[in-house]
Chains A and B, each alone.
Chain A
Amino acid sequence: MLTFLIRRLLVAVPTLFLVVTVAFFMMRAAPGSPFQGDRRLTPEIEAAINAKYGLDRPLPVQYANYVGDLLQGDLGPSMKYRDKTVADIIGEGFPKSATIGLSAIMGAAVIGVGLGVAAALRQNRAADYLATSIAILGVCIPTFVTAPLLVLLFASKLGWLPTAGWGGVRNLILPVVVLALPQIAIISRLTRAGMIEVLRSNFVRTARAKGLSERRIVLHHALRGAILPLVSYLGPAAAGLITGSLVVEQIFNLPGLGKYFVISALQRDYTVVMGVVILYAGLILLLNLLADLLYAALDPRVKLA
């Protein structure tokens, strides 16, 4: 267990380093620069700004400087938001995106597993078809369709919920629902497939032969195995959701990280983009590690080494 953790962390560090390197050079290979486009700058001013941010030096030097700062935990200043550092921007946006994303993925996990188990227990009957249809519909309707439709219905027509903006819990309901719907769909499909397979396995037959109640078999014996495929799916999915969905943040006008990220990428705000990429990659590595640990905890056959 401990050796597994250490080994995984030792692999994670070079992976993260590679991600930083690839992202850095890809970002710089793209044409344009942060100080182009918005206004006409005289060559002197542009050169001065470039010098201020170290953009006038050769690329390898800039890379070395960036990695050096990074190792000291410094993500650098934003190149577009004049008086903010990257850490400020992440500190502002990330908690908001994470609140919405975590609520969505946790709600979706509970509802999706429930639907999936119900569908598997009533395989090929009305309840199963209903759950399957909901699942397929959920996968097929993009968030930028559900979001305006739900706003139209619950905010504009019924007036139950605010249309947009960041504020109380009521503001979060619609964004969370919009984000959760496709996840509910995927999670319920994975759970259904897992459950059907586990219910046919020998240990479930043994449990039945012992005369255990169906309820106990499903909840104590089968569910564990059934959600195994889910565990490996949830890691990357959660990373994507808590770093912020651009579509949802745009439609509901939320000051989250996703919006900052896309705007920064479009404007070549190099440091902000790098900061978010590192956060995202770090989260993916961390959540995958958690998923593996959870996997081993759920499935006694898996040995971590």
Chain B
Amino acid sequence: MTAFGPELAPGSRAGAAAMTSAARKGRSLWDDALRRLLRNRAAVGSMAVLAVLVLAAVVGPFLTPFTYDQLNKQDVWVAPLTHGHLLGTDSLGRDLLARLLIGLRVSLAVGVVATCVSLVIGVAWGASAGYLGGRIDEVMMRVVDVLYSLPFIFFVILLMVTFGRNFILMFVAIGAVEWLTMARIVRGQTLSLRHKEFVEAARAAGVSSGRIVLRHIVPNLLGPVVVYVTLTIPGVILAESFLSFLGLGVQEPLTSLGTLISTGAQDMELAPWLLIFPSIVMVVTLMCFNFIGDGLRDAIDPKDR
């Protein structure tokens, strides 16, 4: 009790509140990290911008005067700020603002869902390999090595042609390819954790391996994993746009930032706004994630600064 210092003496209400939350999570460590994060202006600014972008992607499409698939035959290739089209229209007279908001929504959704898939597979695989060790570790990591040696685009094309151009499966496909690096990071961390005292203690108390991994190892992996996640989301958004560039992305009339950019690039001399606005939104989105990721890394692992 005395370890908490005089201001957290038992009996005081603040002390009691602090202690219950301290009991729930490693309070001081994460509090420090949060404080360092909030001092990082680039990261805080990025979080604000990203919040606006997410809001725009979720609510925006309901507020535009045109829908993303509405054809306006008399307003083909209209420049920005004419005929009520804030950002102009495309070759079919569709409103760019409405399409941009839908595209942002799709890209963000792909980023988050695919990253979650890669997170689940990567953490489960890496933590099991690292904790079980020995032969099993060797075999599991060899699988990762082999998959690493196959070109990314090979997987994606195969998954695409196997499962068809299904929106949901595309998320899963990209996530199923992105988990390899996550598995390596998690395994490395697990190797250093498995001989720590608290794991020994759990093992001595007769806790099963699966439970130790789930309750003791995984929570302690959070730091590096969180950082890597914020850097995976932009990677996935890029991967999706790359697929769109190949014509394997989301299907018309639905769209994504990558689809908008690659079609915009085709018409850039006639209608530069079709390339410029989606590119700006894409770059801003990716930059936000990168700044947040850098900020988190500095905050959680201060020696790297």
Contacts and interface: CB of A to CB of B under 8 A. Distances in A.
B149 A266 contact: no
B64 to A, nearest CB: 24
Nearest to B247: A266
A265 B158 CA distance: 8
Interface stretch (A73-81, A102-110, A277-285): A277-285
B275 interface: yes
Given A27-B158, A145-B282, A22 B150 contact: yes
B151 A140 contact: no
B277 to A, nearest CB: 12
Nearest to A282: B149
B208 interface: no
Contacts of A139: 234, 286, 290
A193 interface: yes
Contacts of A145: 261, 265, 275, 279, 282-283
A141 B234 CA distance: 11
A139 B246 CA distance: 20
Interface in A5-64: 15-16, 18-19, 22-23, 26-27, 29-32
B154 A246 contact: no
B92 interface: no
B151 A32 contact: no
B287 interface: yes
A136 interface: yes
B304 A137 contact: no
Residue with the highest number of chain A CB atoms closer than 10 Å, among B149, B153, B157, B286? B149
B151 A280 contact: yes
A148 interface: yes
Nearest to A124: B305
A144 interface: yes
A247 B268 contact: no
Contacts, number: 107
Given A137-B283, A140-B290, A152 B269 contact: yes
B201 interface: no
Interface string A175-205: 0000000000000000001001100000000
B161 interface: yes
B247 to A, nearest CB: 9
A269 B283 CA distance: 36
A87 to B, nearest CB: 19
A97 interface: no
A30 B150 contact: no
Contacts of B290: 136, 139-140
Interface residues of B, number: 38
A148 B157 contact: no
Interface in B147-183: 147-151, 153-155, 157-158, 161-162
B242 interface: yes
A229 B189 CA distance: 18
Contacts of B234: 139-140
A149 B261 CA distance: 11
Contacts of B147: 22
B146 A15 contact: yes
A68 interface: no
B238 interface: yes
A70 B110 CA distance: 39
A284 B149 CA distance: 6
A140 B283 contact: yes
A82 to B, nearest CB: 23
B291 interface: yes
B162 A29 contact: yes
Interface in B198-242: 234, 238, 241-242
Given A144-B241, A144-B261, A31 B162 contact: yes
Contacts of B255: none
B27 interface: no
A94 interface: no
Q: 5 closest pairs, A vs B, by CB?
A: A140-B286, A281-B149, A148-B265, A265-B157, A18-B146
Interface of A: 15-16, 18-19, 22-23, 26-27, 29-32, 136-137, 139-142, 144-145, 147-149, 152, 156, 193, 196-197, 236, 240, 243, 246-247, 250-251, 261-262, 265-266, 273, 276-277, 280-281, 284-285
25 contacts: A15-B145, A22-B146, A23-B154, A26-B155, A26-B158, A32-B161, A136-B290, A140-B286, A140-B287, A141-B279, A144-B262, A144-B265, A145-B265, A145-B275, A145-B279, A152-B268, A196-B305, A243-B151, A262-B157, A262-B246, A265-B154, A265-B157, A280-B150, A280-B151, A284-B148
Given A23-B154, A29-B158, A261-B154, 4 more contacts: A29-B162, A140-B286, A141-B279, A142-B258
